[in-house]
Structure 1
Amino acid sequence: MRPILSALALSLVSAPAGAEDPGSAAPRVELLTNHGALVLELDPAKAPATTANFLRYVRDGHYDGLIFHRVIPGFMAQAGGYDAEFEERDTREPVENESRNGLSNERGTIAMARTNNPHSATAQFFINLVDNPRLDGSPGNWGYTVFGRLVEGLDVLDKIASIPTGRGGPFPTDVPQAPVVISSARVVEGD
């Protein structure tokens, strides 16, 4: 019995309580806007393909210089497709919908924008301004894939949501009349 106790004692000494693998931190991405910083913590465990897709766009510099082109108070703020001149950026192939991953479109979560085709998400994303459970995936219903949440900058998100909206570029409504520009997007943790 003594060797077992010694092995147990050694394992406790070599792995102190609270020790974490430094490579296991969830990826965090900072979107630096002209209204402040939004820091997102991504969830690769529940949305692996979507998280990898988003991180690749971040690393490629895709989001640098793009705007939040659609902001609907009481709903969501959308970005990832257009620059300030409403020129659309090229994207890669769509990512498979992962909306049935147990994550909900709650206030402050980030999710992929898409067309009516559930598997059409590429680079555009939105941040939920309120709880939007009707956007969640469920049996028989493809929703919008949540893949992370805002961990810093909720006040910045609320500031963005308070900007008056109207016509802009090809969009008849919902475009912030004072542009909200993402000057840079970068991985700040867990890379």
Structure 2
Amino acid sequence: MMIKKCIVITQEKISLEEIDSIKSLLDAGCERIHIRKPNSIDSELRPYLDLLCSKVDSSKLTMHYYHNLAKEYGFGGVHGFSEKAEMFDFKSVSSHSIEEMENLNNIDYSFISPVFDSISKVGYKSAFSLENLKNFIDKKPLFDVVALGGIDVSKLDLLKENHFNTIALLGGVWKDGCENATNNFLKIYNKWK
């Protein structure tokens, strides 16, 4: 039986309160944390990253968008394609169709989303057949296919039945704010592993 893994993606807005939650999530068994701050600028990110990297092992972090900062802060991975991606231990991308995934190479994993209707993005509906995703996973691609979107405790058995080994969580963890993030994670993680 494959080891089941769990990745958490941060909230979009910078929050210093989130840093303690990230530390707690990693301590609770989260495999990787994806730092995703799409609307932030360098001068806003640096104080956040300074504090974050003083509290957690930055090799367990993956950066979206700001690959130059990922290298500077010693992150273990980057998300998305760039010329800097080869310098990192972990490389990931997002896919929104099986066709996109069929053309991928030189990555460690691809998010496929939304597998279920999104929790954090209202109106973001799944367009996937779990059977088609299972068939793709069964072909043994050279990267891990990571389920993202609408994942809560009620969906875990379906994901296992369809041969997913890794899930990525966003809304299911952060839906009740930072103060409940670790509890929300553990409810899912303990049933997943």
Q: TM-score range by the shorter chain?
A: under 0.3
Structure having the larger proportion of residues in helix: 2
Normalising by structure 1, we get a TM-score of 0.28
Higher relative contact order (CA 8 A, sep 6+): 1
The normalised TM-score by structure 2 is 0.27
